[in-house]
Structure 1
Amino acid sequence: MLSFPHVMACSRTCSRFLGLSLGTASLFAAGANIALLFPNWDMTYLTRGLIGKHAMLGSGLWGGGFMVLVAATLISMTGYFRKSTPCLCMLIALLSSGLALLGALVCFVTSGVALKEGPFCMFDVSSFNQTQAWKFGYPFKDLPNRNYLYDRSLWTSVCLEPSKAVVWHVAFFSTLVCISLLQLLLVAIHFINSILGLLCSFCEKS
């Protein structure tokens, strides 16, 4: 049977590992959001203001990125100081869990909505109205009776510019959804680990 000191040591190691994992995930989230600002690695769309609102919101940068990175740093710190100050570390654990939870949730919701509405691109609107031939917008947002995520034939036939706009949009927002789900899972594990660490520290002292 494991003793309380062994459990505490495992809990501290777990905190350091969770902090590192969350920090790495936050960097990937920031990278995915940055890629969304440069479709096909072309800077001209950003300078011309032709980037979709969900990418410009930057939830992968400040939500799943910066906020989670700060939380990951705090979580790693608790892995080094939990033995001497368990109550303070528990308070830090709660704050860091809340911060990471908020950042990951914002990133998840924003990315999910972005996937539902589709990419911001130039498309031919002559089939929708006769006033203008081409314009930038969200052609899949109000597309009747068809879901572009399941109808791959729409991926190359609707968006005229940027090229491969749908693939770029789906790839990186799907990446953000997966990363934010992983972050939420790690936050849940961290919270459970923190509770166990606090209880074990009290039992060890008693």
Structure 2
Amino acid sequence: TLSSPCVMACSRTCSRILGLSLGTTALFAAVANTLLLFPNWNVTYLLRGLIGRHAMLGSGLWGGGLMVLTAATLISLMGWRYGCFSKIGPCRRMLIALLSSGLALLGALICFITSGVALKDGPFCMFDVSPFNQTQAWKHGYPFKDLHNRNYLYDHPLWNSVCLEPSKAVIWHVCFFSTLLCISLLQILLVVIHFINSFLGLFCSLCEK
């Protein structure tokens, strides 16, 4: 029928768009995670080892970044039928689609979970502990992690009163981890679309044969 070649062409076009979109989100995720390592554009905290474990984990670099970018490259190559992807059969194409979808989904989920936990725990900063420990007035840690009765995300007066250093640590933390959270959600959505698109492409290829 005439519909199958048309659908196949649309499927390849969709793969190109999805590959480009996933690759773009991967780059944004890597940039967001990199900026978390330099609060207030200052490299001193990284050199002194005063960066939170969530940022140092680098899930936006290797999870939502490298893993998703690798999958996006495979998806784009299949869409353009470039190199060894030019003459692969529908079943092999579906296998590659499953592998690329699984890789991208895993990376996006890791980034999503890490970002969610980071937003829950709050930023790593220097804060005053004198009300709790008279022998040490200042220390670095997660001051918002133990606030069981108050959610710092909705209590904006706490943002500038608890963390003493770096300045605006809460804003920096919330801004970029929220960005990573949104990017990973978008990546998961694009992966689901890619899987559906690949399944339709396989189905139409078998019908055409």
Which TM bucket (shorter chain)?
over 0.9
The secondary structure found in structure 2 opposite 1:157 is coil
Q: Would the alpha carbon gap of residues 144 and 202 (structure 1) be closer, same or farther in structure 2, given more than 3 Å must change?
A: closer
Q: Tell me, in whole angstroms, the C-alpha distance in 2 between the residues paired with 1:88 and 1:157.
A: 58
Whole-Å Cα distance in 2 between the matches of residues 164 and 91 of structure 1? 47
Shift of 1:126: 1.0
What are the superposed Cα offsets for residues 79-99 of structure 1, whole Å, 9 maximum, x if unpaired?
A: 123774222211110000000
> Paired residue for 2:123?
119
Instruction: State the alpha-carbon separation in 1 of the partners of residues 202 and 208 from structure 2.
Output: 10
Task: Say which SS state the counterpart of residue 143 (structure 1) adopts.
Answer: coil
Alignment of 1:29-68 (within 5 A): 29-68=29-68
Cα distance between partner residues in 2 of 1:130 and 1:69: 50
**Letter of the structure 1 residue corresponding to residue 60 of structure 2:** G
Secondary structure of the structure 1 residue equivalent to 2:156: coil
Q: Distance in 1 between matches of 2:164 and 2:2?
A: 63
Residue identity opposite 1:135 in structure 2: K
SS in 2 for 1:156: coil
Match of 1:80 in 2: 80
> What SS is found at the alignment partner of 1:104?
helix
1:94-105 mapped onto 2 (5 Å cutoff): 94-105=98-109
After superposition, where does 1:1-206 map in structure 2 within 5 Å?
3-81=3-81, 84-85=87-88, 86-205=90-209
**1:73 alignment partner AA:** T
Percentage identity across paired residues of the two chains: 80
When residues 105 and 2 of structure 1 are mapped into structure 2, their CA distance, relative to the original with a 3 A threshold, is farther
CA-based RMSD of the aligned residues comes to 1.3
Aligned partner letter, 2:51: I
Aligned 8 A contact 1:83 1:201 in 2: no
Which residue identity is paired with 2:97? A
What secondary structure sits across from 1:67 in the alignment?
helix
Deviations 1:28-71 (A, max 9, x none): 00000000000001000000000000000000000000000000
Residues 154-184 of structure 1, C-alpha deviations (whole Å, 9 max, x = no match): 0000000000000000000000000000000
SS of equivalent to 1:153? helix
Gaps of 5+ in 1: none
The AA in structure 2 aligned to 1:3 is S
Larger mean Cα displacement after TM superposition, 87-96 or 11-20: 87-96
In structure 2, how many angstroms separate the alpha carbons of the residues matched to 1:198 and 1:112? 36
3-state SS of 1:123 partner: strand
Segments of structure 2 that go 5 or more residues without pairing to the other structure are none
User: Distance in 2 between the 1:3 and 1:84 partners?
Assistant: 21
